[in-house]
């Protein structure tokens, strides 16, 4: 189901359009113009909520950047939303393959790095850490002392529907129906100028159905093996 079909489904589900009305063919349609905008916002509201909940996963993607000597900040992919997983790594790659070297985020981020290393914006050497800068770029520490090193990162791309043919970011039509049922309920609150009630029974029934239909589970939040206390003889 695409964005336009989702908006049409909302307008029919909420009786804005009757059985004799033709589907809208464009968001710029003169018919129901203001209502179309609210329906679009309702779908985007649900999309944003599900992304924030780490429920939507079809947006996984890989990015690559090359560091240059003396350059501290690196721009990420334009559709970057966030790194995948809770402990992301930037893998050093060569000929497309990951090497044994990687960068992890500096503990405490740039604020802590400022306290720990007074000259972090000028020290050069072999990169060991990354951090987010104030303008949402990636900072490298130490600053690379040579050019040409490639790094690969896994991230989640922006899947927010914007134009009529954009697909809804779910894996099946059944999921799309529940997705739009959620958006239709949000539309009802917005259309009648009510506060959005996230505890609404109808809304949560649609959300529960969507979650039950998902075909891809979120990854675990920790890495590595978990060993029992008995392995070490502890009690």
Examine the pLDDT at 222 and tell me if it is beyond 90: no
- Express each pLDDT in 157-190 by its tens digit: 888 899 999 999 888 899 999 999 999 999 999 9
- The pTM for the full model equals 0.69
Examine the pLDDT at 56 and tell me if it is beyond 80: no
Domains of the chain: which residue ranges? 3-56+160-213, 60-157
Q: How does residue 33 score in pLDDT terms, banded at 50, 70 and 90?
A: confident
Which three-class secondary structure string do you get for the chain? CEHHHHHHHHHHHCCCCCCCCCCCCCCCCCCCHHHHHHHHHHHHHHHHHHHHCCCCCCCEEEEEEECCCCCCEECCCCCEEEECCCCCEEEEEECCEEEEEEEEECCCHHHHHHHHCCCCCCCEECCCEEEECCCCCEEEECEECCCCCEEEEEEEECCCCCCCCCECCCCCHHHHHHHHHHHHHHHHHHHCCCCCCCCCHHHHHHHHHHHHHCCCCCCCCCCCCCCCHHHHCCC
């Amino acid at each position: 189901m695409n964005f336009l079909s989702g908006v049409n489904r909302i307008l029919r589900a909420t009786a804005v359009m009757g059985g004799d009305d033709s589907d809208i063919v464009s968001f710029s349609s003169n018919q129901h113009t203001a209502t179309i905008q609210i329906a679009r916002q309702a779908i985007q509201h649900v999309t944003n909520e599900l992304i924030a909940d780490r429920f939507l996963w079809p947006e996984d993607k890989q990015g690559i950047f090359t560091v240059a000597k003396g350059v501290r900040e690196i721009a990420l992919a334009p559709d970057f939303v966030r790194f995948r997983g809770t402990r992301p790594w930037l893998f050093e790659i060569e000929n497309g393959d990951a090497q044994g070297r990687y960068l992890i985020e500096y503990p405490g981020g740039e604020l802590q790095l400022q306290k720990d290393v007074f000259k972090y914006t000028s020290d050069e050497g072999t990169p060991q850490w990354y951090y987010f800068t104030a303008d949402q770029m990636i900072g490298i520490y130490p600053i690379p002392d040579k050019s040409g090193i490639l790094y690969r990162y896994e991230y989640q791309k922006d899947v927010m529907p914007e134009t009529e043919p954009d697909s809804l970011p779910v894996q099946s039509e059944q999921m799309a129906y529940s997705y739009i049922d959620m958006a239709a309920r949000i539309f009802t609150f917005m259309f009648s100028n009510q506060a959005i009630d996230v505890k609404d029974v109808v809304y949560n029934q649609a959300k529960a159905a969507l979650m039950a239909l998902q075909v891809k589970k979120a990854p675990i939040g920790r890495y590595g093996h978990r060993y029992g206390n008995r392995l070490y003889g502890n009690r």
